[in-house]
Amino acid sequence: MFRLEQFGFRALWSPYFFLFLLVLTLIFFYVAKKQRHRFEGSELLTKKEGTLFIFTMLFLYIIKGSPIDLLGHLMFTFHMIQMAFLYLLIPQLIITSVPVWMWKKLLSLPVINKVFAFFTRPLIALIVFNGMFSFYHIPLIFDQVKTNIWYHALYTSILFLFAIFMWWPLINKVETEKRLSGLKKVGYLFADSILITPACALIIFNHTPMYETYTNIEAWVQSLHLCVPADVISTLQLSGPEMFNLMSAQYDQQTGGVVMKILQEIIYGVILYRIMMDWYKREQEETDSFPIPGNGP
């Protein structure tokens, strides 16, 4: 029985990625605690924001730095689990955990402000993110990206950035950046759910395996180089991804599509609930601020 431990510590726990996230976390708290006085309008980092940022970094490490990342190269199902959390949940956590004054400072930079102003327009944000997500899962594109470390790093980084752009109109708390409210948020979320469905449907209802990365041993071994050191791969006797998968490539592919869709619906359902509750509270506050006059004598 081939065990994951044989891929080695670096492949299983990505120590360099852990160090990167650790440095990023330290920089975040240094700026939030020690350099806050340099920025006009800055406020103290709340306990909720600090805790949420640490949780976000840990969660990001679990998704991209733990054995889940290696499993994403062995089974398509785990790849889609990664996609769901990495692009549909973690960007939300980053937007929420970073204090408003930090976002304001970042958006005060001319180049970043122009980029955000254009790509966070609701229609553009929806089309670009979902277009890139669907384009990524076209078999020819997918196999090219998954077998080239530079293509993979570039494409997934850009996709992550556009995921932040996509979630920005819905959940950001910067006063000057709030472009959607009430019913528009519901419509935006519904449109997002519709636009991401074709990619999942293509994967779920295709009755033949689409991706050579999970069926062709040469492409599969090449994709392993993205997370497994070459010197480790050279010592392993690999016959193909079926060594680690109890399902056939077709069922693994379909299961991945189903899992992605279920996770997407759960995440979107939670967001919809929060939108409706915020909308209800706002309506109640407006109603309370205009009391109904009593009957005169």
Neighbours of 145 (CB within 10 A): 24
Mean pLDDT of 261-272: 96
pLDDT at 180: 83
Q: How confident is the model at residue 278 (pLDDT cuts 50, 70, 90)?
A: confident
CB 163 within 8 A of CB 155: no
Which helix (H) or strand (E) segment holds residue 226: the answer is none
Do the beta carbons of residue 116 and residue 165 sit within 8 Å?
yes
Distance CA 130, CA 140 (A): 18
- Looking at 73-87, 154-168, 169-183, 208-222, which range is the least confident one? 169-183
Q: What is the pTM of this model?
A: 0.92
Q: How many helices (H) and strands (E) does the chain have?
A: 15, 0
> Tens digits of per-residue pLDDT, 15-29?
999 999 999 999 999
The confidence score (pLDDT) of residue 40 equals 58
> For the residues 222-248, what does the mean pLDDT come to?
89
The upper half-sphere exposure of residue 61, i.e. CA atoms within 13 Å in the direction of its Cβ, equals: 19
| Predicted pLDDT of residue 3 | 80
Burial class (CB in 10 A: 0-12, 13-18, 19+), 181: exposed
Residues 211-231, buried b or exposed e (16+ Cβ, 10 A)? bbbbbbeebbbbbbebbbeee
Q: Please report the pLDDT score of residue 297 as a whole number.
A: 47
Split at pLDDT 50, 70, 90, the class of 285 is confident
